[in-house]
Amino acid sequence: MSWLGAVPFLSYVFLFLLLPTGIVVFGAFAGTGGPTMANVKALGDGYVVDAFVHSFVLSAVSALIGAVVGGLLAYAIATGKKDGLLRRVSTSACGVLAQFGGVTLAFAFIATIGGEGFITVWLRTHGLDIYANGVWLYQLNGLTLVYTYFQIPLMVLVFLPALDGIRPQWREAASSLGGSTWEYWRHVAIPLLTPAFLGATLLLFANAFSAYATAAALINQGGIIVPLQISTALSSEVILGRENFGKALALGMIVVVTVVMSLYALLQRRAARWLK
Amino acid sequence: MTEVQVSAPTTTRAGVEVRLEDLQRRYGTVTALDGLSLTMEPGELVALLGPSGCGKTTALRLVAGLEDADSGRIVVGGKDVTGLPANRRDMGMVFQAYSLFPNMTARQNVAFGLRLRGVGAGERTKRAGEMLELVGLSAQSDRYAHQMSGGQQQRVALARALAIRPTVLLLDEPLSALDARVRAQLRDEIRRVQLEVGTTTLFVTHDQEEALAIADRVGVMRAGRLEQLGSPSDVYARPRTPFVAEFVGLSNRLAGHVNGGTVDILGLRLPLVDPTTPDGGVTAIVRPEAVGLRNVPDDTGQDALVGTVVATAFLGAISRVTVDLGGGALVLAQLPTSEAADHPAGSRVRLTLRPDPVLVTPLAVGEAAGVTA
């Protein structure tokens, strides 16, 4: 009967994770007249492939920028006092900003560096037009910048525990054995932090890949990334025989995110082994 | 990088003299080291002993180069190393705990310093194997830190520190995170290895038993200064100050009166460590092993030397018997267990004091007899 305590959790996982996933997977292969491959085959259409490529590029670039900048920020925080004001303020701010996606974030960017945002206008009056070559904020580049805004604080939150696990004795031991700062980083710190860093980068990738609200609030037309394609497929007219095309797109996303999260789990396990 | 000649662990570099000259170190308003001077003979193991905050770890970290002295000099083998960074001091260090690189096996940890010195892979592996054998861990050479016990990890740390054939070995409370049994075993192991390799060694600890058991000389520190430096037996039997007497071993604090170069304690006249002590009331510091017990009839009247046994602590071959002299004044006597069995709790006993020279300290106001550890 010891499993009884896990019932609420298992029920939650079933209702909000397994059941929706099952519906998506089942639906992707279902048509009005019975099972069909038409929805899945449509994933090979040019504009769909483009959307997946855009999603992949957006997620990869924003994850990389977030990982590098967030990693450096996390390092700066980790080297400060454990109970210092800077750390408490920074981690609290990151906790809020990491969840600051959606309409509010889109509005914040539109109001500041949008076509008529106050920074844009101010720069324009001083002779610098950031949109001289087109309004890139509402394209893939713009999305990347906006996504980076919540990717960086998320990286700080995810990577900070790994940095905290690095013991000062290791640096001192390396030093007493004749190692320079670079040799310590090369032989000890970087090998130890790499799994956690890569794992966190993958998490950021998955975070960006599945994000919808910010992109939807920023971009009204077209489906340049997969979540927007799904939105279009659910709310617009569909081709006969491809009624569940939206579910096929979601299945594609599930496959990508599953691969990424499996790699993340693998790397986390490796990092956890060393940092016990 | 330069190629390093590596020899078997038993053919070691002779130990070098280490001199700490008037070292000063402050952290803000706190003085951690207040003019520490100490000379270690070649191949000697000196233990710095003292309570938390006395500056012993600071002293070790200054020697290691992990911190800078505000003033003073550190001279190793005749060479002033005060301004050298830690990675150029050629010293091996063993930390309290958790210092093994977790991404490396025991062998890789031990070979790490050699790798940094450009020693070839074959020689590195051979040398690491020898060092692991020296500390009895050949069978664990492919294990990671988390696969080893705390004691094994510290042995690997010792092998790693010795593998580079350091001029000085620095041990920063290397046993404090271990349980009592492993601690005693590893303590003896460290001493055996240190004698075998002959490296001059500075050992920092707050555990007096550890310091007395392992060191050639013990330096008792207080408030950033050396209170006494001497052989373990000297420090224990002839403490130079009340602080040393109280910090090293158990002590009874008994009210006494100095009179003409001797001291009267509980009606007994005993010689003084310092016969020039001025006359007057004092607190005498008496070791428990200097106290003897003799049974007396239960109806023995009140006498300064007569008391009641209130407790006996069994410690194996010896036992410590606590005697209440009345008014809450407790005196500790350390006796062979067979003898202590003659004085069960509740029995009336008369104290005898061995006529050793007694260390005295000015009498604190309102101080009664008592025990300090």
Q: Do A176 and B88 touch (CB under 8 A)?
A: no
Give the separation between CA B137 and CA B12, rounded to whole angstroms.
Answer: 20
Residue A188: list chain B partners with CB under 8 A. 101, 103
How many other C-beta atoms can be found within 10 angstroms of the C-beta atom of residue B181? 9
Q: Do B113 and A178 touch (CB under 8 A)?
A: yes
pTM given for the model: 0.80
Per-domain residue ranges of chain B: 18-237, 250-372
Fold classification of B250-372 (topology level) = OB fold (Dihydrolipoamide Acetyltransferase, E2P) (2.40.50)
Q: Do A274 and B117 touch (CB under 8 A)?
A: no
Q: Do B146 and A188 touch (CB under 8 A)?
A: no
Please tell me the total number of residues recorded for chain B in this structure.
Answer: 373
The residue of A169, A177, A274 whose CB has the most chain B CBs within 10 angstroms, and thus the best one to mutate to test that interface, is: A177
Q: Do A175 and B87 touch (CB under 8 A)?
A: yes
CA A24 and chain centroid, separation:
21
Residue B131: list chain A partners with CB under 8 A. none
| A-B contacts at Cβ under 8 angstroms | 79
Q: Do B99 and A172 touch (CB under 8 A)?
A: yes
Give the separation between CA A158 and CA A161, rounded to whole angstroms.
Answer: 7
Kindly identify which residue of chain A lies nearest to residue B94, measuring between CA atoms. A173
pLDDT on residue A221? 75
Residue A196: list chain B partners with CB under 8 A. none
Side-chain-facing half-sphere of B37: CA atoms under 13 Å: 4
Residue A178: list chain B partners with CB under 8 A. 87-88, 90, 113, 116-117, 164
Residue ranges of the alpha helices (H) in B83-198? 106-116, 121-134, 150-163, 180-197
Give the separation between CA A264 and CA A251, rounded to whole angstroms.
Answer: 20
pLDDT on residue B180? 83
Average pLDDT over residues A103-122: 91
Complex confidence, ipTM: 0.80
Per-domain residue ranges of chain A: 2-274
Q: Do B64 and A176 touch (CB under 8 A)?
A: yes
Interior angle at CA B173, CA B170 and CA B177, nearest 5: 140
State the sign of the Cα–Cα–Cα–Cα dihedral A241, A243, A247, A249: positive
Residue B98: list chain A partners with CB under 8 A. 167, 169
Kindly identify which residue of chain A lies nearest to residue B62, measuring between CA atoms. A176
CA of B229 vs chain A CAs: smallest distance (Å): 27
Average pLDDT score over chain A: 89
Backbone torsions φ then ψ of A227, nearest 5 degrees: -60, -35
Q: Rounded to whole angstroms, what are the CA distances from B70 to A29, A146, B15, B32, B73?
A: 76, 50, 27, 11, 10
Fold classification of A2-274 (topology level) = MetI-like fold (1.10.3720)
Smallest Cβ–Cβ distance between B99 and the set A169, A179, A274 belongs to: A169
Q: Do A179 and B87 touch (CB under 8 A)?
A: yes
Whether residue A276 has pLDDT greater than 70: no
Least confident range from A130-144, A262-276, B13-27: namely: A262-276
In one-letter notation, the amino acid at residue A17 is: L
Give the separation between CA B156 and CA B346, rounded to whole angstroms.
Answer: 51
**DSSP β-bridge partners for residue B318:** B336
Give the separation between CA B79 and CA B74, rounded to whole angstroms.
Answer: 8
Class of domain B18-237: alpha beta
Whether residue A28 has pLDDT greater than 60: yes
For chain A, give the longest Cα–Cα distance.
74
Residue A167: list chain B partners with CB under 8 A. 98-99
Per-residue tens of pLDDT for chain B, all 373 residues: 333 333 334 434 468 999 999 999 999 999 999 999 999 999 999 999 999 989 999 999 999 999 999 999 999 999 999 999 999 999 999 998 889 999 999 999 999 999 999 999 999 999 999 999 988 899 999 999 999 999 999 999 999 999 998 999 999 999 888 888 888 888 898 898 899 889 999 999 999 989 999 999 999 999 999 999 999 998 988 888 888 988 888 888 888 899 988 999 888 899 988 888 899 888 888 889 999 999 988 776 677 788 999 999 998 899 999 999 887 788 999 999 999 999 999 999 999 998 888 888 876 555 545 555 4
Give the tens place of pLDDT for each residue, A158-215.
Answer: 999 999 989 999 999 999 999 999 999 999 999 999 988 998 999 999 999 989 999 9
Q: Which has more pLDDT, B42 or A269?
A: B42
Interior angle at CA A219, CA A214 and CA A223, nearest 5: 100
